[in-house]
Amino acid sequence: MIDVTEQKRKIAVIGGGITGLTAAFYLQEQARLHHYPLEIVLIEGSHRLGGKLQTLRKDGFIIDRGPSSFRDPKGIVAQLAKQLNIEDEIVTTTNAKTFIAIDKDLQQVPQNTIMGIPTKFKPFMASELVSWSGKVRATADLIIPPSKVDGDRSLGKFVRRRFGEEFVQSLIEPLLSGVYSGDIDELSLQSTLPSLLRYEQQRGSVIRGMRHEMKSSEPGDFTVRHNSKNVQKFRGGMSTLTHALTDELTDCEILKSVKVQSITPFQDKTCLSLNNKSTILVDGVIVATPLHMVTNLFEEEEVRQLQTVPCNTVATVTMIFKEDSLQSFDGTDVYISRNSDYSFTSVTFEHKKWPFIAPEGYAVVNCYIGRTGDTAIVDLSDSEIEKALLEDFQQLFGLDQLPLETIVSRWKDSMPQYTIGHADRVKKAKDTLRKLYPTMRLAGNSYNGISIPKCIKQGKHSADQLLCELFEHTPQFTNSFD
């Protein structure tokens, strides 16, 4: 048994994105609460904390270069924001209006759909996005029996079987591949949208399952809820969250611009070698960097040979216009049907969703580019990307003005693709590592969810598990990811 009054322990958190910052914050909070003799060190490779959460504030504009909003059906962000005293900074949009671009046509996604799947029939039947035969085929979801296939399978195949080809091509595919920057035929049902499988198994139909969940008070793991009121953002931009976390980390040593280069066992501890030629000996480690970066850190062959998670390179392109040049379009979001020849995968008219992010009279338009099979565009020069996007805008919105400013933010290998069999591969990676290093945990967007709430959950969860390993800590989370 460890005598917590005597034995000082040290935990390193590698990676200062939202996952690592949350893990460090949770460690600090629990150590204070339970008087654990714990030292925490957070090691971040770049010169700034926050990882993909990056807000640019300039001339009255608030521009998020990475994630710009979040959906928080389980209140995970809200709970953290409360602890950080920034809950009043969370703003909810009430006017999201999503369209799909099919060639030159813009069609509104019917009201009351989740991921394109209708939860009310009237708006769906009135929509012109899908033909009558496509609508009839989609409602066959209500009678098609659950599939007998065991184990993980393709998300695309699953939705095609239940809703038919036309409905998937016109609605589900553009929305889902816009969110995951991936190919729905390659993505894992189990790891991206397990709720769909649950609805099928428990209710005999995805539509019925969703309708039921909408009515019940306990929301599920919705990733894309269209035309609902729960898309949220921080008033000062997404960095509000990471700045507040950083400010709170007063009992944590923070190393910036320092990269962990290798991890090796050293007696009963773990040795981290840093790129500044120094080493740190620790009792526990939370590795909150993408998996493809993790495997390189170890000498052990069995870790180096672990299959990593493929990641797509994407970019956000933020353009600022005079607002009157964009008056003709009354939606807030546009997703692209895969068969259409546009450069972007989705566009958000940010100033309409969040009027406080731009001075009056200005429009802020955020375009996402890059997805499976189409990442070359991200490597074009800024001016070539801008030119391609302006051609798209001309076709879709009749826009013929140049932007006042364009900001291109490239995110190399940043969008993990949870392909079929992902959960098993993650389990294998975690098990392999834990056998060699019992006090090491992996957390972040390569594993159990890419959204901000899911990264926060993983950060807390991994910290909780390590505290259990090192102290007589009672686990706070019962539903394990492992």
Ligand X SMILES: Cc1cc2nc3c(=O)[nH]c(=O)nc-3n(C[C@H](O)[C@H](O)[C@H](O)COP(=O)(O)OP(=O)(O)OC[C@H]3O[C@@H](n4cnc5c(N)ncnc54)[C@H](O)[C@@H]3O)c2cc1C
Q: Which residues bind ligand X (CB under 6 A)?
A: 14-20, 43-46, 51-53, 66-70, 259-260, 288-289, 293, 314, 316, 411, 414-415, 444-445, 450-452, 455
CB of 445 to ligand X, least distance (A): 3
- Identity of the residue, 101 or 258, whose beta carbon is nearer to ligand X in the bound complex: 258
- Residue 174 tokens, joined: 């553009």
> Least separation, in Å, of the C-beta of 444 and ligand X?
3
- Which CB, 280 or 358, lies closer to ligand X? 280
Q: How many CB atoms lie within 10 A of CB 154?
A: 17
Q: How far is the CB of 373 from ligand X (least distance, A)?
A: 18
CA distance 243 to 85: 12
Least separation, in Å, of the C-beta of 25 and ligand X?
A: 12
- For residue 26, the minimal CB distance to ligand X (Å) is 14
Q: Which is nearer to ligand X, 168 or 443 (CB)?
A: 443
Which CB, 20 or 182, lies closer to ligand X?
A: 20
CB 242 → ligand X: shortest distance, Å? 9
Burial class (CB in 10 A: 0-12, 13-18, 19+), 475: exposed
Cα separation, 135 vs 98, whole angstroms:
19
Q: How far is the CB of 285 from ligand X (least distance, A)?
A: 11
d(CA 226, CA 98): 7
Q: In this complex, which beta carbon is closest to ligand X, that of residue 43 or of residue 109?
A: 43
Nearest approach in angstroms of CB 107 to ligand X is 23
Q: What does the DSSP assignment read for 349-375?
A: EHHHH-GGGS-TTEEEEEEEE-BTTB-
Question: Of 205 and 414, which CB lies nearer to ligand X in the complex structure?
Answer: 414
Give 369: exposed, middle or buried? Use CB within 10 Å, 0-12, 13-18, 19+: buried
State the amino acid at position 454 in one-letter form: K
Q: Which of 10, 8, 20, 88 is nearest to 249 (CA)?
A: 20
Task: Name residues whose C-beta falls within 8 Å of residue 112's C-beta, 6 or more positions apart in sequence.
Answer: 118, 119, 120, 123, 124, 227
Q: Which is nearer to ligand X, 76 or 138 (CB)?
A: 76
Contact 378, 410 (CB under 8 A): yes
Which candidate, 25, 17, 14, places its Cα nearest to that of 80? Answer: 25
296 phi and psi angles, rounded to 5 deg = -70, -15
Other beta carbons within 10 Å of 370: 24
Q: Is the Cβ of residue 53 or residue 423 nearer to ligand X in the bound state?
A: 53
User: Rounded to whole angstroms, what are the CA distances from 409 to 16, 117, 236, 385, 406?
Assistant: 19, 32, 19, 11, 10
Rounded to a whole number of angstroms, the minimum distance from the CB of residue 354 to ligand X is 12
Which C-beta is closer to ligand X: that of 69 or that of 119?
69
Residue among 184 and 291 whose Cβ is closer to ligand X: 291
Q: How far apart are CA 433 and CA 298, in angstroms?
A: 10
Shortest Å, Cβ 19 to ligand X: 3
